[in-house]
Structures are given as structure tokens and as C-alpha cells.
Amino acid sequence: MIELPDVVSGLLRAVAFVLLFQAAGTAAFCAGFGPALTLSRPGITRLGRVAAVLAMPAVLGHNLLDAARMTGNFSGALDPSMQKLAMISSSGAALACRMAGLITIALAFPRARRLALALGALAAAISFTLTGHTSISAFRPALAPALFAHVAIGMFWFGSLLPLYLVSEREPRAGAVRIIEAFSKAAVWSVPLILIAGAAMTALLVPGWAVFKQPYGELLLVKLALFAILMLLAAANRWRYGREAGRAFRRTVAMEVGLISCVLVVTAGLTEFFSPE
């Protein structure tokens, strides 16, 4: 039975996912393409810094509610013994790594220090491998790198979209097209790895086809359908709109942001409430 603390925790997890992916992805974008940015740089650095700062209370709040979920009511969040139990678990290690990444990103963004931004994004991605279904599976040696690739590339893709929107809007057209084409070249080989890594994890975690008749499997199918739509939009941007860097490109980017946000919300619910077993 899902209690009220579970619902609030799930909502916080969804918000934390979106903000964390935005912060880490924007950091990765600036680490890779920062030297090419001119007029769009202030807006992009502000976006990344704000996302990192807002992600911190969402991530911390979700973790604090672990104790409330253990007891079934919000009073558990104020119980020191329950909080200690939560902190010494794998979720405590993930929290420490995630917060370290966000703090590094927030401090690095004012001057867009590329190495610090890359390290912050790396820590944020690694944090996902420290807890959850993959961390307790007998197949963890294979699942951990697959999950890292799945998350890291997803962060880069999602977190780069709003910066690309600003690039298209504010940079001179020739410069904007060069940045968009450079991103597209990186995305064309890396984004399909999200699907490959996800398929590998599903094969190792899911015990059989019957799972797809249950909530866990149904949500996986929803994610797959959304990903298929996203690939079509990404292809349109790559081959048609990206070379113009105009209004149609920005409109498609906005649609990608909305769809990936939906994927992250579905993922939050999937990992918060359901298990592949």
C-alpha cells in the first residue's frame, strides 16, 4: 500500500531527477562546448547554476523522506535513529556523491571552469550506480557500467537542450550552426547507446516476459515509446532544422525537453515504487 510519505517522496524524486539532469547535463555541455560560446554564455551558466542550486534541496528532501517511508508517517523523518539507518545505507552513499557533484557544479559555473564542471557531472552520474536495483543484483559488474552510460548520456542529452535553445536564439547564426552541428555529431553516436544500455539492463534485471503485464514492465514500455518519439524529433533536428538554427529548431528542442521530462518523471515513479522482481 502506498502511503502519503511515499507519494511526496515520489514527487520530490521526479523534481530532483529533472533538476539534477539539467544541472549535470548543462555542466557537461559547457565542459565540451564552452570555448565556442559567446553571447549565450551568461544565460547558459545561469541556467546551470540555478538548476544545481534548486536540485540540492530536492535531492536532500527526497533522501530525508526515506526515514518517513520506513515508518509509514512523516514523523519518521524527525527520528534520529531512522535517519541514521537511512544514511548508512546505499542511499546515503548515493546522496553524498550526488550532493558533491551538485556543489561542484554550482561553484564552477560562474566562471564555467570546464574541468570542475566535468567532474561535477561525472559525480552526479556515478551516484546512480551506488543504490537501487542494480546495486544489489548479482549482475552488478555488468549493470553498473550500463547504468552509468544510460544516465550519463541521458544527462548530456537532456541538459544540452536548453543551452542549445539559447545558442540558437542568441549566438550569430554561423556560430550557432557550428555548435549545433558539433553537438549533433556527438549525439548521433552517443544517444543510441541509451537504448542499448537500457536494453542490457532490462535483460539482466527482468526475470521474464510476465513482468511486462505488471506496473514495472508497463512503465518500461511507456519509456520505450517516449524514447522512440524522441529519436524522431532528434533526427528532425539533426537533418532538417539544425542547419537553420531558427524558430523551427527551437520549437522541436522545446518538445524534446518536455518529452524527456516526462521520461524522467516515469523513471522516478518506476524506481520509487516498483521492482523488476
Q: What is the mean pLDDT of the chain?
A: 85
Report the number of distinct structural domains present in the chain: 1
Evaluate if residue 246 carries a pLDDT over 70: yes
The tens digit of pLDDT for each residue in 160-208 reads 999 999 999 999 988 898 998 899 888 888 888 998 998 899 888 887 7
> What's the rounded Cα separation, in Å, for the pair 186 and 267?
24
pLDDT at 208: 79
pLDDT at 58: 93
The tens digit of pLDDT for each residue in 201-235 reads 988 888 778 888 888 888 888 888 988 888 887 77
Sign of CA dihedral 237, 239, 243, 244: negative
**Half-sphere exposure (Cβ direction) of 228: Cα atoms closer than 13 Å:** 6
pLDDT at 74: 59
The domain in which residue 55 lies consists of: 4-273
Exposure class string for 207-232: b at 16+ Cβ within 10 A, else e: eeeebeeeebbebbebbeeebeebee
> What's the rounded Cα separation, in Å, for the pair 4 and 65?
11
Better-predicted residue by pLDDT, 144 or 8: 144
> What's the rounded Cα separation, in Å, for the pair 207 and 224?
18
pLDDT at 205: 87
User: Could you tell me the pLDDT band of residue 271, with boundaries at 50, 70 and 90?
Assistant: confident
With contact defined as beta carbons under 8 Å apart, do 190 and 32 qualify?
no
Average pLDDT over residues 43-68: 89
User: Could you tell me the pLDDT band of residue 63, with boundaries at 50, 70 and 90?
Assistant: confident
In order, the DSSP letters of 5-32 are HHHHHHHHHHHHHHHHHHHHHHHHHHHH
> What's the rounded Cα separation, in Å, for the pair 199 and 227?
12
Evaluate if residue 121 carries a pLDDT over 80: yes
Evaluate if residue 87 carries a pLDDT over 70: no
Phi/psi region, residue 132 (left: phi>0; alpha: psi -120 to 50; beta: rest), is left
pLDDT at 83: 58
What are the Cα distances from residue 144, in Å, to 60, 107, 120, 128, 182?
Answer: 23, 28, 19, 9, 29
> What's the rounded Cα separation, in Å, for the pair 238 and 188?
8
